[in-house]
Structure 1
Amino acid sequence: MMNYDLGKGEYENWVVSDVGFSPDTLGKSESIMYLGNGYMGLRSSMEEPYLEETRNLFIAGTFNKFDEYEVTELPNIADVTRLDIRVDGERFSLEFGETKEYVKQLNLKTAELSRSFIWTSPKGKQLRFQFRRFVSLENLHLIGKKIEIEALTDPVSIVIDSGVNAQVTNSGSQHFHEGEKRIFDKKFIQSIQTTIQSKIDVVVNTAHKLTVNGNEVKNNPLMVMERRKVWLQFEAELQPNDCLSLEKLTTVHTSRDKDLFVSRDNYSLESLREVSLANLKAAHARGYEFEFLDSKAAWEEKVWGKYNLTLNSEDSYDLLALRFALYHLTVMTPAHDERMGIAAKALSGEGYKGHSFWDTEVFILPFFIYSNPEVAKSLLKYRYHGLVGARQKALENGYEGAMYPWEAAWPTDGEVTPIWGSVDIVTGEQTKIWSGFIEQHITADIAYAVWQYYKISHDQDFMDNYGYEMIFDTARFWASRLEWNDDKQEYHINNVIGPDEYKEHVDNNAFTNHMAHFNIQLAINYYDELKETNPDILESLQGRLNLADSYLLWKDKLDKIYLPQPREKDLVIPQDDTYLNKKIINLEKYKNQTKVGSMFLDYNLEQVNEIQVTKQADIMILFLLLENKFSQEVKQANFNYYEPKTLHDSSLSLSTHAILANDLGHTDMAYSLFRRAAEIDLGPAMHTSDAGVHAASIGGIWKSTVYGFGGVRMLDGKLRINPRLPKHWTELNFTIYWQGSPLHVDINKDSLKIKSEHASAVEIEVFGKSYTFTGETEIAYRQ
């Protein structure tokens, strides 16, 4: 059972707790309390094993393809969290005996996981257990664990097996060749794995320190090796009030580590082994507490002290939800390496195989653009490196330019979306996944993200070296993708999937058409601009992209692209050519569902395709991205039409509707939608996150707050702030970066205060009025 108010004193509204052990709901806390630092993600499974557990340790960028019939995925690295504990010769498990005072919790501020309880064994002996764990933000390769067992009533014998277990798989798929296993000095364990197809070496090292009542126990542990597994066995006899402590520090390094090996040319496995073992020995000499304090300080400096996001609310859960979002946005993001993206399930579980979607550019990247531009640049460089795979996908599909994959892994891999999915409830056959073939709006979404980053950051160097090429080559794709309709004398985009994935094989999805048009218009604008201001850039790209001919095509086709417009009778924009002609049914049952996807218990996808029902924001996300193209009247009419038909079966959806609802003045509805978005992972439902957290929804929590209630937008290159706080929020504070300058924003019910750290003038728009200031300003307003 989830609890959100156990944090006290300086940790008030910082602690997420599970206060009731259940072997049937392990996935919730394993996912939402997972630990990480962007380099690695460690799922927070229990130390002692359970049938329904999922043990995952992922290292960003270590993709591997198990065999030719499966798609590439992040492989599950060897497990270092499991401990086999025996009490008086019997296996320890909370499924036996009696447990009280059970608390498992994640402290978001310190990024430490802890678990404690008092346990009475089947023999009636009472013991106190405490487990602590962290993944360091200071030393990206380090995992720390500390276990304390105190005998409370009787003498007791404790035996603990601990080491490295490489017998784990990805739901049965074994991605590694077994390498060498070593134990140095009867203390330092080293295990080597190599991915089967991508040939990435992974070196895992671990070491232990055992004490009883503070005195180190130096008797030699039993050393054991089995296939893909190596461990030590520790024994101790405890008298009443004796306390056993076992520290375990682990380091993980791979041959893809950019901080060690810039290229494979200067790589050797031997050097990787030496460096990784040296890192472990240094950490082991300092111990758990010192390494944890370093990580805690890094969190304060790099996260909490940098983002300054706070609010005053009548419901303290709101502040906890925001901190939860910032925590996860940090641990999911490979800020250390531009060759890696963010997975849809972050680094918390096997869901979506570690692949990146449009989630990053539309729902996560805005946070980094405004809050940490250097990380935003790194994430966009990942897409730049992915041009290789995007161009290959375009070529394979008969198009020109860059056609980005719907699901991306290692940037040069190209399309990695699985072809087959779940069972069809009507036919019993496996469902084909069409997204990798015809969900193509991601190409324009990435171009949009490049534009958004440039306009907000003014990073000209990025555009010169990366951005222009991405925008030009994606525009080349769209120009080749357009299909001429001779009857209507206009270009269509047929046979696609839009953001609403409940509508497959549709023509002229409004979001896709408008975004493709935006992409081509953007390319024309930048071509004209560069021709005047920096023709050398055009010249450098001309040979690769045939820009002169492409420009003529763009100019010829742009105004002939069909862009779905509001109907005259009700201002509703057709989501696609046939949506408004499909049958309407009573969706109340599915709108009030307790579990997403409940409609597929009654219908298959083919049947849903013929009903006016929407999976997630489609027209609404168009209004958010291309806000200035549509009037408030049109937005309101479409919100009224589509919101009742949207089931929010995707975690991406609620935050968009929350922002639009707030823009339209429906603040109570906006707050309700915000809360629902914030509860997808963090909330009390115990099975929403079994496969991993919902990364895009977590980004959406920040967007709902800063875009929505804070009213922050970049519109046509200008900063606009139109605050509209929920009625029980009295103050909202955050820091954003605008064109290189940090702006500290304080919002209350009556005024907006902004302080700039730079001396240059800042121009903003607030509720239709323009203001220019230097230093700081306060603007009065009324909601």
Structure 2
Amino acid sequence: MDKYLETDEWKIIEEGFDPQRQRSSESIFSIGNGHMGQRANFEEHYSGDSLQGSYIGGIYYPDPTKVGWWKNGYPDYFAKVLNSVNWIGIDVYVNGEQLDLAECSVTDFTRTLDMKQGLLQRSFVAELQSGNKIAVEACRFVSMERTEVGVIEYKIKALNFSGTVKLAPYINGEVYNEDANYDEIFWDEGTQDSFDDGGVVTTKTKKLAFHVAAAMKNTVQKNGKSLDLEATASVSSMYVDQAYEISVEENDEVQLQKYAVVSSSLNHARKRLHSHTKQSVDDIAKVGFKQLKKEHTDRWLNIWKGSDVHIEGDDEAQQGIRFNIFQLYQTYTGEDERLNIGPKGFTGEKYGGCTYWDTEAYCLPFYLNTAPDKVARQLLWYRYRHLPKAIENAQKLGFTDGAALYPMVTMNGEECHNEWEITFEEVHRNGAIAYAIYNYIRHTGDESYLEEAGLEVLIAISRFWSQRFNFSEKRQKYVMLGVTGPNEYENNINNNWYTSYIACWCMRYTMEAIEKVRDESPEQFEEIRQKTSYDDAETEHWNDILDRVYLGEDEDLGIFLQQDNYLDKVQRTASELDKSERPINQHWSWDRILRSCFIKQGDVVQGLYFFEDHFDEDTIRRNFDFYEPRTVHESSLSPCIHAIVASKLGYSDKAYQLYLRTARLDLDDYNKEVHQGLHITSMAGTWMSIVEGFAGKRAKEGKLHFSPSLPDEWQAYSFKILHKGNRLNVRLEPEQVIITCEKGSGSTCYVYGEKYEISQDKEVIISAPVLSK
């Protein structure tokens, strides 16, 4: 762990500047609005180690696959989240000397992320090599109200000198990706020009012809009074700046407001992109910093009304959950049906792509309960629109007859991940997509989705599973060979219990959905049958698989076998590892990891989480007690699932420990990799750890059920649930549960199995001595 940030309920605060932590802080202090975002790079020039990153949702580059030798079925490219035009830059000169925090003495440095208002703020005092000292204050936000807009207010105070301060705000499209496979620059020049107090730069990708335009408009004041200055413009390839030179006396303060608009051909005709962006930046400059900031902060306050989790008595836990919620809503708002949720969001380049199975397994439950139903539906429709590509992906691997394999990583529905053990073998992702359909319907009661889109997806996925199993003459069972389960520390294994179990569940659920749609909407069913060429004879084979499937168990231990040979490994627990070896993926060879018993993330436990109603508590307990001690939790997706299951089993200390790990994974850098970007998709698991874990929230047949517990470290906690248009506030105190309907007509809930009617603005207080400390 690396705990260098201050603890605060609503803010992330870094006191003191440490260049060794700059990349980590650039990740942690990232900002975005679901449309675009950026790492917390400095506005002024910085020659120290840094990963410059500004990203636009949906803009990517098909970087040619780089492998030692080619394999049939390999994706042609790895989709790179593109580092795009740098719109935040402001070069600063004091009496001709450039400000560079890597080359001067820095004191009184504070960087703050105000999560309540969505503001990135920074202040410091710099003494340049000349001895001139300045105090700087910067405030930046990416507007949640106007999705193409970013704004900066930058202030400089002359502390011990008179002379000149020169500010040169710029737009720079000459950027690169550190993770480019062949060190290729992904952008070509478009157009660039300057205008009064501003400029525009347009660039285009070398492939796929995405066009991006960024424009700036600047205003300058001294000691609060506007200056009518004539800027000196500089224009070159993919670059434009406007330089302002201001005379200052000691204690004078210069202020610059930089307004930016970043637009793309995703949303505007290419021919109009340049003019649209220029006109837009003129318009927002007239609105002004104060009003734009108010619009933005008001939008954030409204988001928090529906999503906040309040923890009393544990500031670290409180800060952790709010940080996670904040980053989730910075990454995805559900307003653009073409976008999804990348593992790093707008905070880094690693992993590429914008869609993993993380969306369905982890993120959907968060948005399903904190946003209107249409947002979760949007995530499902995203996959439905990609169904033809999923069928193509399966065909490339030899599957037939409309079988679909959804990609592990994608931008447009095509598989674009090129590690063989994931691309070809981590097929359990198909199960998460089917489970998301089931999860959406059981929460919302919206069974119409099956006939509109869901059943087509389920049939295609079940066709894949029926072909992925093969019949073993030796066992006289159906087996699934050569897979990688959620635990990526085992590759090319046979009969991964989780993969086989969710595959069987998919086929069973698909058959139930077929009968439901056939009975309730016969005309729609006939359309689906013709569109998919479905025949009831298919389900005869599915049922045969279900009747004769092999699901490994060890009767002596009473556990499900993670894979056939798991117990052949030398059995050790993670507690036996020396701290100097952790994380093992940064200290061990891959061969050693694959031969070890250590588990990267929940595998069997993931299945027990999804399908807890299929097993009695003793079965869940035996498997958890065996596998959790062997789990090193080196996947960000692991601690939250274990926290939920631990809560169910009454392991409150373990649940709390795992909650803190998932909540503060990035803030405390548990896995020593936050410099690469944040773990956005796993952040939804933090919310799940509280709401599904400690509060025991479940959805059954469209109704909410709660079985709350209160961690010993907390005095109380509360959270919001948006369910069928009703926003409920659920509060847990030591001896009671209090539920209030803050918005809507009311709802029916079950608490500890008892039914309660929750009407608007009336508290329902439920005695719960089980919560007593």
Tell me if TM exceeds 0.5.
yes
Residues in 2 aligned to 1:735 and 1:588: alpha-carbon distance in whole angstroms: 36
Note if 1:28 corresponds to 2:24.
yes
Pair 1:667–1:774, CA change in 2 (3 A): closer
* Pairwise CA distance, 1:511: 0.6
Residues in 2 aligned to 1:94 and 1:586: alpha-carbon distance in whole angstroms: 45
Given that residues 472 and 523 in structure 1 are in contact (C-alpha distance below 8 angstroms), is that contact kept between their aligned partners in structure 2? yes
Pair 1:6–1:734, CA change in 2 (3 A): closer
Given that residues 106 and 127 in structure 2 are in contact (C-alpha distance below 8 angstroms), is that contact kept between their aligned partners in structure 1? yes
SS at match of 1:25: helix
Match of 2:623 among 606, 626, 638: 638
Q: Counterpart in 2 of 1:231?
A: 241
* Pairwise CA distance, 1:736: 1.4
Q: Counterpart in 1 of 2:422?
A: 435
SS at match of 1:181: strand
Q: Counterpart in 2 of 1:424?
A: none
**How is 1:714-725 mapped onto 2 (pairs within 5 angstroms)?**
714-715=699-700, 718-725=703-710
* Pairwise CA distance, 1:124: 2.5
* Pairwise CA distance, 1:686: 10
Pair 1:121–1:751, CA change in 2 (3 A): same
**How is 1:481-560 mapped onto 2 (pairs within 5 angstroms)?**
481-549=468-536, 551-553=538-540, 555-560=542-547
Q: Counterpart in 2 of 1:359?
A: 358
Partner letter of residue 291 of structure 1?
A: L
Q: Counterpart in 2 of 1:728?
A: 713
Q: Counterpart in 2 of 1:771?
A: 755
**How is 1:273-288 mapped onto 2 (pairs within 5 angstroms)?**
273-288=274-289
Given that residues 2 and 17 in structure 1 are in contact (C-alpha distance below 8 angstroms), is that contact kept between their aligned partners in structure 2? no
Q: Counterpart in 1 of 2:318?
A: 319
Backbone CA RMSD of aligned residues = 2.2
Given that residues 25 and 686 in structure 1 are in contact (C-alpha distance below 8 angstroms), is that contact kept between their aligned partners in structure 2? no
Residues in 2 aligned to 1:466 and 1:193: alpha-carbon distance in whole angstroms: 38
Q: Counterpart in 1 of 2:587?
A: 601
Partner letter of residue 521 of structure 1?
A: R
Note if 1:53 corresponds to 2:50.
yes
Pair 1:386–1:535, CA change in 2 (3 A): same
* Pairwise CA distance, 1:777: 3.3
Residues in 1 aligned to 2:201 and 2:144: alpha-carbon distance in whole angstroms: 23
Note if 1:71 corresponds to 2:78.
yes
Given that residues 65 and 418 in structure 2 are in contact (C-alpha distance below 8 angstroms), is that contact kept between their aligned partners in structure 1? no
Q: Counterpart in 1 of 2:378?
A: 378
Note if 1:245 corresponds to 2:245.
no
Given that residues 478 and 550 in structure 2 are in contact (C-alpha distance below 8 angstroms), is that contact kept between their aligned partners in structure 1? no
SS at match of 1:690: helix
Pair 1:550–1:360, CA change in 2 (3 A): farther
* Pairwise CA distance, 1:583: 2.1
Q: Counterpart in 1 of 2:11?
A: 15
Pair 1:594–1:276, CA change in 2 (3 A): farther
Q: Counterpart in 2 of 1:652?
A: 637
Q: Counterpart in 2 of 1:151?
A: 158
TM-score, normalised relative to structure 1: 0.91
Given that residues 308 and 719 in structure 2 are in contact (C-alpha distance below 8 angstroms), is that contact kept between their aligned partners in structure 1? yes
Note if 1:271 corresponds to 2:285.
no
Pair 1:188–1:395, CA change in 2 (3 A): same
What percent of counterpart residues are identical? 25
**How is 1:563-574 mapped onto 2 (pairs within 5 angstroms)?**
563-564=550-551, 566-574=553-561
Residues in 2 aligned to 1:653 and 1:486: alpha-carbon distance in whole angstroms: 36
Pair 1:86–1:687, CA change in 2 (3 A): farther
Pair 1:367–1:95, CA change in 2 (3 A): same
1:90-130 deviation line (CA, Å, top 9, x unaligned): 22122334322110110001111011012222232322111
Given that residues 406 and 435 in structure 1 are in contact (C-alpha distance below 8 angstroms), is that contact kept between their aligned partners in structure 2? no
Note if 1:677 corresponds to 2:688.
no
Residues in 1 aligned to 2:152 and 2:713: alpha-carbon distance in whole angstroms: 41
Pair 1:214–1:758, CA change in 2 (3 A): closer
Note if 1:113 corresponds to 2:120.
yes
**How is 1:250-265 mapped onto 2 (pairs within 5 angstroms)?**
250-257=260-267
* Pairwise CA distance, 1:242: 0.8
Given that residues 406 and 439 in structure 1 are in contact (C-alpha distance below 8 angstroms), is that contact kept between their aligned partners in structure 2? no
* Pairwise CA distance, 1:68: 6.6
Note if 1:398 corresponds to 2:409.
no
Note if 1:83 corresponds to 2:90.
yes
TM-score, normalised relative to structure 2: 0.93
Give unpaired runs (5+ residues) of structure 1.
8-12, 261-267, 420-432
69-78 or 530-539, which deviates more? 69-78
* Pairwise CA distance, 1:696: 2.6
SS at match of 1:116: strand
Note if 1:131 corresponds to 2:138.
yes
SS at match of 2:518: helix
Pair 1:586–1:491, CA change in 2 (3 A): closer
Partner letter of residue 37 of structure 1?
A: N
652-661 or 564-573, which deviates more? 564-573
718-727 or 541-550, which deviates more? 541-550
1:488-519 deviation line (CA, Å, top 9, x unaligned): 22211110000010111111111101111111
Q: Counterpart in 2 of 1:213?
A: 223
Residues in 2 aligned to 1:617 and 1:656: alpha-carbon distance in whole angstroms: 7
Residues in 1 aligned to 2:581 and 2:673: alpha-carbon distance in whole angstroms: 10
SS at match of 1:202: strand
Partner letter of residue 23 of structure 1?
A: P
206-215 or 704-713, which deviates more? 206-215
Residues in 1 aligned to 2:447 and 2:362: alpha-carbon distance in whole angstroms: 24
Q: Counterpart in 1 of 2:437?
A: 450
SS at match of 1:468: helix
Residues in 1 aligned to 2:142 and 2:156: alpha-carbon distance in whole angstroms: 22
Pair 1:173–1:774, CA change in 2 (3 A): same
* Pairwise CA distance, 1:718: 4.9
Given that residues 339 and 381 in structure 1 are in contact (C-alpha distance below 8 angstroms), is that contact kept between their aligned partners in structure 2? no
1:217-247 deviation line (CA, Å, top 9, x unaligned): 3222121122222212221121011111111
73-82 or 215-224, which deviates more? 215-224
* Pairwise CA distance, 1:67: 4.5
* Pairwise CA distance, 1:43: 0.9
Residues in 1 aligned to 2:566 and 2:614: alpha-carbon distance in whole angstroms: 22
Pair 1:563–1:277, CA change in 2 (3 A): farther
Q: Counterpart in 2 of 1:425?
A: none
Given that residues 192 and 240 in structure 2 are in contact (C-alpha distance below 8 angstroms), is that contact kept between their aligned partners in structure 1? yes
1:343-381 deviation line (CA, Å, top 9, x unaligned): 011111001114321111111111011111322111222
Residues in 2 aligned to 1:672 and 1:544: alpha-carbon distance in whole angstroms: 50
Given that residues 118 and 127 in structure 1 are in contact (C-alpha distance below 8 angstroms), is that contact kept between their aligned partners in structure 2? yes
Pair 1:718–1:605, CA change in 2 (3 A): farther
1:125-150 deviation line (CA, Å, top 9, x unaligned): 32211111000000000000111001
Partner letter of residue 33 of structure 1?
A: F
Give unpaired runs (5+ residues) of structure 2.
67-76
* Pairwise CA distance, 1:661: 1.3
* Pairwise CA distance, 1:255: 1.1
